[in-house]
Amino acid sequence: MAEKMTHNEQVVQRAREAYMSGKTKDVEFRKKQLKALMRMYEENEAAFCSALAKDLHKPKQESVLLELNLLKDDIRHILARIDEWTKPESTPTNIVTLFDKPVIYHDPYGVVLIMGAWNYPVQLALLPVAGAIAAGNCVILKPSEVSSTTAETIAELIPKYLDNECFHVVCGGIPETTELLKSRFDYIFYTGSPQVGKIVREAANKHLTPTTLELGGKSPLYIDDSVDMDIAVRRIMWGKCINVGQTCIAPDYVLCSQQVQTKFVDKARDVLKEWYGEDPRSSPDLCRIVSDKHVERLAEYLKDGKVVIGGDVNREERWISPTILVDVDPKSKVMTEEIFGPILPIVNVDSPYDAIKFINEREKPLTLYIFTKQEIISDLLLKNTTSGGSCVNDTMLHLAERPLAFYVFSNKSDLVNVLMEQVPYGGCTVNDVMFHAAVHDLPFGGIGNSGMGAYHGKASYDTFTHRKSCLIRNYNKIAETIGKSRYPPYSEKKTKFLSQMLREQPFPSLKFVPYLIAFGLGVASVFAYKGIAKDGLREWMSQRVRSPLWLFRSSET
């Protein structure tokens, strides 16, 4: 007698049956679901903002700009391009396949599991859902139980807007997630910590399920004395203060000289007072730490350096003030663990080369930030580091073994380029923070300990799409004459001849020109084939050369 399926198994089975029906392969169906998702955001903004305020004390401006607007803009981006994205791709040919049709078709994976995170519980759960829908998949969504009010809101709204057979929400904690991971999925997309990411990957490996992991890491920020310090500090502290630093691509630590550190701290003190007043805890524009456990973790980090700004803790309110630490031991916890809070340590380096060495000795970051006006500095960092992405002269809008993000602030463009090349990271922003994550055409993702795979815009569609290669051959006589060299008996002449014919050739773009070239090559190949063909080829050719029309027939009449 078969065992009774659990609720989660039944949900997965329903989604698989819906996928097997073929309804999600219809592009018009996908568009309809994406438009319904858009309506869900537009008609329930107040409900989402209320849930985010309850879970994270998130201000409405952050909820709208960094959660809902990103989701709506992503859907607009997809809808404007989905017809083009879903078309089969043509690829170049060689002489042997000149008359054939090499095509790449786009197939959905099938039933995909998407697991969201608690820090941006709407955006990080639902942004990949749009990509999965666009690619034609059915989705099981597991929002984070830590932001429980938001998870309940998503679970309540999804069935009201999306197809109930194709799209499902499963809520719960560790037991529910563990059970869910026992099911076989066709793709898994996880956002969260590296520790849990390894568990997800291990579960996926049992079924050889392809996986995207959007993890965390320590995103470094390099700043030199060439920048406009007022602008740079505002951009950096904004990136550290939104969601009180609970952002995977928030700058995690600053690398700069002692002289820059002094100017930075003085300006940061003035900026924080301007933004949040004498008592930041009473400001309506700052979030709270998500849980008591994370408050205790962050409070321990305050012991790892000298507090020069902030350092206030209120456990009852889950509050930690925006804080800057100096004189930090590079081996301390605040410098070896992802902070995920409003604490910004500063480490002194004498040169960008020291910064590169410091970054490359650690895990690869998700993002690299570079603040400089010197192009040579940004080039140096970008070319000598590895990260998931980067942003120059800002933070976060580009959207660690190796860091998740890397930030450089400098006006020396030559030095920027060197830094960008020499450090490993997931992404980079130069002269700002986090803005790379808001550019739809920039894939967002990590490397090494900060994750694998990428999404946002076209990258989301590609992530949930299997590119299926196909060569459609015909019975053209020229191609067959050229290809005869593959048949036994083998010889050195056949090997050399076929090697030349299979080599990719640069053909003009005009469609008729390759045919003329092929005609000439076909005639030439006949003569070349004399020495390697079996008896009877000359007689066969003589019977057909009287009428050249046979060259363009796909089969004999």
b (16+ CB within 10 A) / e for 346-375: bbbbeebbebbebbbebbbbbbbbbbbbbb
For helices 27-43 and 45-56, what crossing angle results, to 10°? 70
27, 53, 507, 511 from 475: Cα distances, Å: 33, 66, 22, 19
| Tokens 């996986």 found at | 211
**Total count of residues recorded for the chain:** 557
- Interacting residues of 193 by C-beta distance below 8 A, sequence separation 6+: 215, 216, 338
> Of the listed 62, 67, 214, 401, which one is catalytic?
214
Nearest CA to 344 out of 416, 253, 429 is that of: 253
**Alpha carbons 66 and 123: distance in angstroms, whole number:** 8
Write the CB contacts of 134 (distance below 8 Å, at least 6 apart in sequence): 30, 34, 78, 82, 85, 460, 461, 464
* Cβ proximity of 455 and 213 under 8 Å: no
- CB contact set of 174 (below 8 Å; sequence gap of 6+): none
Q: How far is CA 181 from CA 122, 187, 501, in A?
A: 22, 11, 49
* Whole-number CA gyration radius for the chain: 29
Contacts (Cβ under 8 Å, ≥6 apart) of 309: 265, 268, 269, 272, 322, 323, 324
SS3 at position 244: helix
- Judged on CB neighbours under 10 Å (0-12, 13-18, 19+), 523 is middle
Residue 31: CB atoms within 10 Å: 16
DSSP state of 242: G
| Site of tokens 């406009």 | 228
CB 8 within 8 A of CB 170: yes
What phi and psi, each to the nearest 5 degrees, are found at residue 78? Answer: -70, -50
Helix axis angle, 69-79 relative to 123-134, nearest 10°? 10
**β-strand partners of 103:** 90, 470
What are the tokens at 252? 């995690």
**241 catalytic residue (yes or no):** no
Tokens matching residue 269: 């003190």
Q: Which two tokens stand for residue 433?
A: 């923070």
Nearest to residue 288, comparing CAs of 216, 250, 341, 324? 341
CB 252 within 8 A of CB 219: yes
171 an active-site residue?
Answer: no
Active-site residue (options: 49, 248, 256, 428): 248
Q: Which residues are catalytic?
A: 214, 248
